[in-house]
Amino acid sequence: MPNIVLFSGSSHHDLSQKVADRLGLELGKVITKKFSNQETCVEIGESVRGEDVYIVQSGCGEINDNLMELLIMINACKIASSSRVTAVIPCFPYARQDKKDKGFFDIAVDNLYAEPAVLQWIRENIPEWKNCIIVSPDAGGAKRVTSIADRLNVDFALIHKERKKANEVDRMVLVGDVKDRVAIMVDDMADTCGTICHAADKLIDAGAVKVYAILTHGIFSGPAISRINSAPFEAVVVTNTIPQEEKMKACPKIQVIDISMILAEAIRRTHNGESVSYLFSHVPL
């Protein structure tokens, strides 16, 4: 019976360590470095022959470098006769350039959901959650938002962009009533944060008492941090699919939900051949 060997790429060592701790394992020994000509070099430091290998690498930071590092590590493990190699990619890069779904891969894909962790956070951290309203900052996120609203048994609202004339900036229109309510915006990623900051202003103008934002992937590139600091958010909550320590120092409104237990449980279940779909609606303890 092969053992689990867990390797970490250099993109998010912290999360990999948390996952390893939950699985009761040490991270596998691997050296990743760059030569002086900036070419990536990977050397696996222990035997993986016949083992079940998992490599944790998130699509964040220097994405092309991290992607190449991941590919080389996978290649090295396969050449070293591992039994199976699984890539654990918390934030999948290039996901917005073309929609990635099961049909694009020749191999098994498990797309896990942060939703159970988000629901748990809301119940534990927002006292007024029973009377809140879940808001989608764009029309595309309606399905995601209604799913959460239904599970909490609360209302939802959405904001959509309306372009009046060719050269005019898009106008944001709120559909739904947020007066005197705590508004919780939910989306999958926070990149430059232009949209959600505008949306927050809109919600306050429409009478919301407090505005939270909960986003799975906190990319926060460009002017994102300064925009959030000057926006009327109570808190901006992201998961740790992407390292957030530096950003939290620059912006006290950012809070982090740990999803390492979801990844660890997915790894454990995959290794034991158990169903992973339990994780789509439950947060492991």
Minimum distance from CB of 219 to another protein (Å)? 5
User: Which is nearer to another protein, 202 or 217 (by Cβ)?
Assistant: 217
The residue with tokens 């050449």 is 79
Minimum distance from CB of 92 to another protein (Å)? 11
What is d(CA 83, CA 235) in angstroms, rounded to the nearest whole number?
Answer: 44
Which of 172, 124, 176 minimizes the C-alpha distance to 154? 176
Which DSSP string corresponds to 24-51? T-PPPPEEEEE-TTS-EEEEE-S--TT-
CA distances 226 to 188, 205, 231, 251, Å, are 20, 21, 9, 8
Minimum distance from CB of 62 to another protein (Å)? 6
Minimum distance from CB of 72 to another protein (Å)? 5
Minimum distance from CB of 171 to another protein (Å)? 24
What is d(CA 19, CA 140) in angstroms, rounded to the nearest whole number?
Answer: 32
218 three-class SS:
strand
Alpha carbon 263 to its chain centroid, in Å, reads 11
Sheet holding 182-190, edge to edge: 171-175, 155-162, 133-136, 182-190, 210-218, 235-239, 254-257
What is d(CA 60, CA 239) in angstroms, rounded to the nearest whole number?
Answer: 13
Helices (H), 39-141: 63-79, 115-125
For residue 255, report the phi and psi dihedrals to the nearest 5 degrees.
-125, 155
User: Which is nearer to another protein, 110 or 191 (by Cβ)?
Assistant: 191
Minimum distance from CB of 103 to another protein (Å)? 15
Minimum distance from CB of 220 to another protein (Å)? 9
Binding site for another protein (CB under 8 A): 35-45, 47-48, 61-65, 67-68, 71-73, 75-76, 79-80, 93-94, 96-97, 191-192, 219, 221-222
Minimum distance from CB of 279 to another protein (Å)? 27
Q: Per the structure block, which two tokens stand in for 193?
A: 């944060």
User: Which is nearer to another protein, 63 or 261 (by Cβ)?
Assistant: 63
The answer to whether 133 touches 123, Cβ cutoff 8 Å, is no
